[in-house]
Amino acid sequence: MFRAGIGYDIHRLVEGELLILGGVKINSNIGSLGHSDGDVLTHSIVDALLGAADLGDIGTYFPSNDEQWKNFSSLKFLSESVKTIKNSGFIISNIDATIILQYPSLKNYILEMKKKLASEMNINSSAVSIKATTTDGLGFIGTREGIGSLAIATLTSPK
């Protein structure tokens, strides 16, 4: 059996916050404002994985109104979600994600993100595709007020 899920996340960007994507700290004077570490890439991947397995969404397991998740690493969200998915009989086939961000450039961080995320999911980094794009200056992302991420996850199951 083959299953696919889509994940989406968006956060406000502000000065003085860290910018963490795929568990990697990005050198930037603006960062993502969030209840946890604000890692939109990892959040979108978690939602895509949980959706593909019909197991709810990130808020089901890690609600933003729960103080235990304040400033928490999103990689932990990912590793816990992967355990839940595997316990449900699914195997991660691949991830394809796009980060939407006007600034800073992410090209020097993509490989490190792939390796870190693949390691957390216990899959080969070749099964993780990460791309980055801008909005050519349009909208709140184009004016550097926000960041977004989209992800698609595919799972297989022997059932």
CA distances for 86 relative to 39, 47, 58, 70, angstroms: 23, 15, 16, 26
Tokens in use for 140? 């709140």
Q: Are 8 and 48 in contact (CB under 8 A)?
A: no
Q: What is the pLDDT of residue 131?
A: 98
Q: What is the pLDDT of residue 134?
A: 97
Q: What is the pLDDT of residue 68?
A: 66
Does the domain made of 2-156 have the CATH classification 3.40.50.720?
A: no
Q: Are 131 and 97 in contact (CB under 8 A)?
A: yes
Condensed to tens digits (0 to 9), the pLDDT of residues 77-93 reads 899 999 999 999 999 99
b/e 74-111 (16+ beta carbons within 10 angstroms → b) = bbbbbeebbeebeeeebebebbbbbbbbbebebeebbe
As a whole number of angstroms, the longest Cα–Cα distance in the chain is 48
The answer, as to whether pTM is greater than 0.75, is yes
Tokens in use for 76? 């932990």
Res. 31: pLDDT tops 70: yes
Boundaries of every domain in the chain? 2-156
Cβ-proximal residues to 83 (8 Å cutoff; 6+ apart), any chain: none
Condensed to tens digits (0 to 9), the pLDDT of residues 91-124 reads 999 999 999 999 999 999 999 999 999 999 999 9
